[in-house]
Amino acid sequence: MAFRWKLVLEARPESPGERQGLAHSCPRLGEGGVRLYRKTVLPNGVRIVTETTPHVRSVTIGFWFRAGSRDEDPAVHGISHFIEHMMFKGTATRTARQIAEEVDAAGGQLNAYTSKEHTCYYARVLDTHLPLAAEILSDMLRHSVFHPVELEKEKSVILEEIRMYEDSPDELVHDLFAEAVLGHHPLGRSVLGQSENILRLTRDDLLRYVADHYTGHNLVVAAAGNVQHEQVVEEIARRFGDLPAGRPGQDEQPVSLRAGTALREKDTEQVHLCIGTLGISRHDPDRFALYVLDTALGGGMSSRLFQELREERGLVYSTYSYHTCFEETGLFAVYAGTSPDHVDEVLHLILLELERVSREGIRGEELRRAKEQLKGSLMLSLESTANRMSRLAKLELFGEEVLTPDEVMARIDAVAEDEMVALCQRLFQRDRLSLAAIGPGAADLAWSPAGGRAGVSD
């Protein structure tokens, strides 16, 4: 049965946390009555979720803020990522070097990343060092000083990161694709921002953004591994109990269905292509069918695209499909990198494959194989406490169903052939396909509004 967290009290004596006004959810039970997932909500809205895996000796803890590039005003585009950098540059009691040395001395790993919809700070440590990890991350998130000298230095670092990204066309093309499909929607923005914006940002800009977005209702703290839920609640309540509650962010914005192009000329050895369309949201009931489709179409060495473009024809070294699910929409794309001489043929073959899958779907042995591959990838990934923490945090942060791995596999197994056909027809309509390309001759690609290359016959 699908499970959603419910804020009801467990049938047990009142705990110290409850006496402090904390709300607890029913625990999710695994084999032998072991509590798999537990959740507590602090009075200021901070959600604490844990997954206990007692047979490991590590713990991964992450602080997830529902604040990303989609939440930025255009004038401060790139500020979410900038703040992520600055959180590592020193607090009132620690220098940046001391932060790094304390984590290294404990044999731990400390990192962070920014996406379009959230920012995550996390640490992976031995279970005995969980209090240290929680204390260091809390210090960074609550007491970073954003020293003006460090801020100016970090601007230079981020400008170099942007230049490095510009020199990586196989990565940059995905940002161009998002722009082509989503246009001026906030989800169409890159995470890094533009150089001119970064140079204009001030310390006051950063502090204002943190005050607005790093609030209780926007924060999920997740931990997975050999961890006790009560210990995590105690650590977080002590350090974040006075965090202003704020208000939940990220109001949904309408997304227009459009077919766009984003073509950039660049002197590279290959032309890098993304062809695709709007996908589906993370709450869409067809999402499990989408996962299977992605796997069959371009998710591995046996996938249709890999076999056709690389193994059969030798036109590419790298090709794959991918999906990204956001709150109100998503993206689905096919990537390929090929020489300028082969662009026409590769575009043509990708379009043919998308048309074929929209007519026929994924059936029979191919469907069975994709399901097994997808289930295997899921279970292998969950051998990492970091992946378990990340999965649990994202589900809570965006209000998704919390399913056990067995329940996820059952949902995958339940995907039927007719569901696959309906989803493919929903996605791959010629008049809604967009193209992004970077490389020699990319600016001259004559991509037609109906989703095809001019002069290429089917």
Q: Identify whether residues 280 and 221 lie together within a single domain.
A: no
Q: Is the pTM of this model over 0.75?
A: yes
Residue numbers of the domain that contains 20: 16-240
Please say which residue of 183, 209, 240 terminates a domain: 240
Question: What's the pLDDT at 250?
Answer: 63
Catalytic, out of 51, 72, 84, 179? 84
Q: What is the pLDDT of residue 28?
A: 57
Q: What is the 3-state secondary structure (H, E, C) of 348-413?
A: HHHHHHHHHHHHHCCCHHHHHHHHHHHHHHHHHHCCCHHHHHHHHHHHHHCCCCCCCHHHHHHHHH
Q: Are residues 65 and 173 in the same domain?
A: yes
For residue 295, being part of any structural domain is answered with yes
Rounded CA-CA distance 419/423 in Å is 6
Q: How far are the Cα atoms of 219, 227, 250, 264 from residue 46, in angstroms, in the given order?
A: 5, 19, 16, 43
- Among the candidates 209, 240, 271, a domain finishes at 240
Instruction: Work out whether strand 119-126 and strand 58-65 pair parallel, antiparallel, or are unpaired.
Output: antiparallel
- The verdict on residue 47 lying in a domain is yes
The verdict on residue 298 lying in a domain is yes
Judge if 272 and 196 occupy the same domain: no
- 208 and 269 assigned to the same domain: no
Q: Same structural domain for residues 118 and 225? A: yes
Give the pair of three-digit tokens for residue 108. 């731990």
Residues 221 and 294 placed together within one structural domain of the fold? no
Nearest-angstrom CA–CA distance, 99 and 77: 28
How open is the CA angle 229-395-22, to the nearest 5 degrees?
40
Residue 179 has phi, psi (to 5 degrees) of -65, -40
| 44 lies in the same domain as 115 | yes
**Domain CATH for 24:** 3.30.830.10
pLDDT (tens place) for every residue of the chain, 458 residues total:
332 222 222 223 334 444 445 666 555 555 545 558 999 999 999 999 999 999 999 999 999 999 999 999 999 999 999 999 999 999 999 999 999 999 999 999 999 999 999 999 999 999 999 999 999 999 999 999 999 999 999 999 999 999 999 999 999 999 999 999 999 999 999 999 999 999 999 999 999 999 999 999 999 999 999 999 999 999 999 999 999 999 876 667 888 878 899 999 999 999 999 999 999 999 999 999 999 999 999 999 999 999 999 999 999 999 999 999 999 999 999 999 999 999 999 999 999 999 999 999 999 999 999 999 999 999 999 999 999 999 999 999 999 999 999 999 999 999 999 999 999 999 998 888 999 999 999 998 877 645 454 433 33
Contact of 49 with 37, CB cutoff 8 Å: yes
Distance CA 420, CA 360 (A): 9
pLDDT value, residue 18? 40
Structure tokens at 102: 């304390």
301 and 430 fall within a common domain: yes
Residue burial 242-253, b: 16+ Cβ < 10 Å; e: rest: ebeebeebbeee
205 lies in the same domain as 76: yes
Q: Give the whole-angstrom CA distance, residue 316 versus residue 309.
A: 6
203 with 274, same domain? no
Distance, in Å, from the CA atom of 333 to the CA atom of 428, rounded to the nearest integer, reads 10
Domain boundary among 184, 206, 240: 240
Q: Residues 236, 266: one domain?
A: no
Say if residue 78 is in the same domain as residue 194.
yes
Catalytic residue status for 234: no
Q: What is the DSSP string of 61-96?
A: EEEEES--GGGS-GGGTTHHHHHHHHTTS-BSS--H
Asked if residue 41 is part of any domain, the answer here is yes
**Overall domain count for the chain:** 2
